[in-house]
């Protein structure tokens, strides 16, 4: 029988005393990751474009007894990133876990794609990942420990018509992840990429039921993923048990790319 609901699972990874910085934490996958990491004991530095956008994420974490603080800015702006890192360091002193989740889509066929649509997606999805990895990576090198998890996409593995910019950015994230994993491994820092497939988020909620049904038919487990499916893997990769796992790109897609 096909499974229709995402599995319910509590956190089995102990991240007590650690600080996790999560970009794009205002909704969807980013919110689920921030909440799950907090459930595992981590203090959360939640990053989004506005503090107001993070209100629900903060409420969920704090209501459960967790610690979370908001930090606002553009992940694609080097000055904003520098300021955010300074604010996070002033508040928490250290960051042991970095999750680069912030991302945007501006879909369109390649021949009709405007320069701005290409630049905005590449800057947010790929450059933003680079900026945070460079800044937090330096911090992790000093403390000789770290876990970096970059959120890619199956679109970066197999491509997707109408998403030349998005697919290029997410493929870039995978290549970037593999390279810096080699650069940082000697300092006890692991770097991995997670590539979600079709996940139930605000973007997929607006799709017609017919389209959702067609998508499910392409997925061997016959359901869309839930944000928690991604969050559970991120928590494992962030934990002490994943110390020998680095430079990998792991698709969480219900078997779509197998």
Let me know if residue 14 belongs to a domain.
Answer: no
Average pLDDT of span 189-197: 98
Cβ count within 10 A of residue 243: 11
Let me know if residue 5 belongs to a domain.
Answer: no
Let me know if residue 9 belongs to a domain.
Answer: no
Q: 193 φ, ψ to 5°?
A: -115, 140
Task: Please count the residues of the chain.
Answer: 258
* pLDDT over 60 at 56, yes or no: yes
* pLDDT over 50 at 7, yes or no: no
Let me know if residue 69 belongs to a domain.
Answer: yes
Q: Which domain holds residue 179?
A: 19-252
Let me know if residue 11 belongs to a domain.
Answer: no
* Range of weakest confidence among 3-17, 132-146, 152-166, 208-222: 3-17
What radius of gyration, in Å, describes the C-alpha atoms of the chain?
17
Cβ count within 10 A of residue 157: 20
Let me know if residue 37 belongs to a domain.
Answer: yes
Q: Is 236 a catalytic residue?
A: no
Number of domains in the chain: 1
Strands in the chain per DSSP E: 19-23, 43-48, 68-72, 97-100, 146-151, 189-196, 249-252
- Who's near 115: CB < 8 A, 6+ residues apart? none
**pLDDT tens-digit map of 209-247:** 888 888 899 999 999 999 999 999 999 999 999 999 999
Let me know if residue 13 belongs to a domain.
Answer: no
Which token pair is 200? 């139930």
Residue with tokens 């520098």: 82
Quote the pLDDT of residue 206: 73
Which token pair is 29? 């996958």
Contact between 114 and 46 under an 8 Å Cβ cutoff? The reply is no
Quote the pLDDT of residue 2: 37
Average pLDDT of span 114-142: 98
Of 132, 166, 176, 198, the active-site residue reads: 166
Contact between 121 and 105 under an 8 Å Cβ cutoff? The reply is yes
**pLDDT tens-digit map of 85-118:** 999 999 999 999 999 999 999 999 999 999 999 9
- Widest Cα–Cα separation across the chain: 52
* pLDDT over 90 at 27, yes or no: yes
Residue 85 burial by Cβ neighbours in a 10 Å radius (0-12, 13-18, 19+): buried
Quote the pLDDT of residue 10: 61
CATH code for the domain of 35: 3.40.50.720
Within 13 Å of residue 236, how many CA atoms lie on the same side as its CB? 13
Let me know if residue 4 belongs to a domain.
Answer: no
């Amino acid at each position: 029988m096909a499974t229709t609901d995402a599995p319910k699972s509590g956190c089995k990874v102990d991240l007590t005393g650690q600080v996790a910085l999560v970009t794009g934490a205002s909704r969807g996958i980013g919110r689920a990751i921030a909440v799950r990491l907090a459930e595992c004991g981590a203090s959360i530095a939640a990053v989004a474009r506005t503090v107001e956008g993070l209100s629900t994420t903060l409420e969920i974490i704090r209501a459960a007894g967790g610690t979370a603080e908001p930090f606002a800015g553009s992940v694609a702006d080097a000055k904003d990133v520098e300021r955010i890192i300074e604010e996070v360091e002033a508040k928490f002193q250290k960051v042991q876990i970095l999750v680069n989740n912030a991302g945007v889509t501006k879909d369109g066929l390649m021949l009709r794609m405007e320069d701005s649509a290409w630049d905005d997606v590449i800057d947010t999805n790929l450059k933003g990942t680079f900026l945070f990895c460079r800044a937090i990576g330096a911090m992790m090198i000093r403390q000789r420990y770290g876990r970096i998890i970059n959120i890619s996409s199956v679109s970066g593995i197999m491509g997707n018509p109408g998403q030349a910019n998005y697919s290029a950015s997410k493929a870039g994230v995978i290549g970037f992840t593999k390279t810096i994993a080699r650069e940082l491994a000697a300092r006890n820092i692991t770097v991995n990429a997670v590539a979600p497939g079709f996940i139930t988020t605000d973007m997929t909620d607006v799709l017609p039921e017919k389209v959702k049904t067609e998508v499910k038919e392409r997925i061997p487990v016959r359901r869309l993923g839930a944000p928690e499916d991604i969050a559970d893997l991120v928590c494992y990769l962030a934990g002490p048990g994943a110390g020998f796992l680095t430079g990998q790109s792991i698709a969480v897609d219900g078997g779509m790319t197998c």
